[in-house]
Amino acid sequence: MSTEIQTGKIPANVISPSTSNILDNGHKAKSSNAAHASPTGIIDTVSMTDQAARLKELESTLAEYPDVDASLVTQMKQAIADGTLEMNFEDTAVDLIEIESAKSISASE
């Protein structure tokens, strides 16, 4: 995935391929990869890894969901108040172990 970034003006310290590799102060430019200048400014290309692109996609998907499901909160409050909330502690423990295992795997990568 590549993204082009265009700036409106060329910064004074950027050397384009059409200019000399010698700066005004007489020192040679540090990089042989001079920026490519266009009439509207500088065009840089930014590449994202597949993982970064996937994370960006997931971030966009998660942004579409509400922070809190108000109707579920209301249902849970009512079930707790009524005493009708049923908890399967074994399933809950398994779920917590899976979540923690996933966290430790992703942290080690």
- Domain ranges for the chain: 1-65, 66-108
pLDDT band at 106 (very low <50, low <70, confident <90, very high): confident
Which of residues 101 and 33 earns the better pLDDT score? 101
d(C-alpha 102, C-alpha 96), whole Å: 10
d(C-alpha 101, C-alpha 93), whole Å: 12
CA distances from 28 to 13, 19, 70 (A): 12, 12, 63
- Tens-digit pLDDT profile for residues 68-104: 888 999 999 999 999 999 989 999 999 999 999 988 7
Rounded to 10 degrees, the C-alpha dihedral 67/68/71/75 comes to: 160
Contact predicate 42/6, CB 8 Å? yes
Instruction: Tell me what the mean pLDDT of segment 51-66 comes to.
Output: 87
- Please give the model's pTM, rounded to 2 decimal places: 0.30
Buried b (16+ CB within 10 A) or exposed e, 15-25: beeeeeeeeee
Q: Tell me: pLDDT of 1 over 80.
A: no
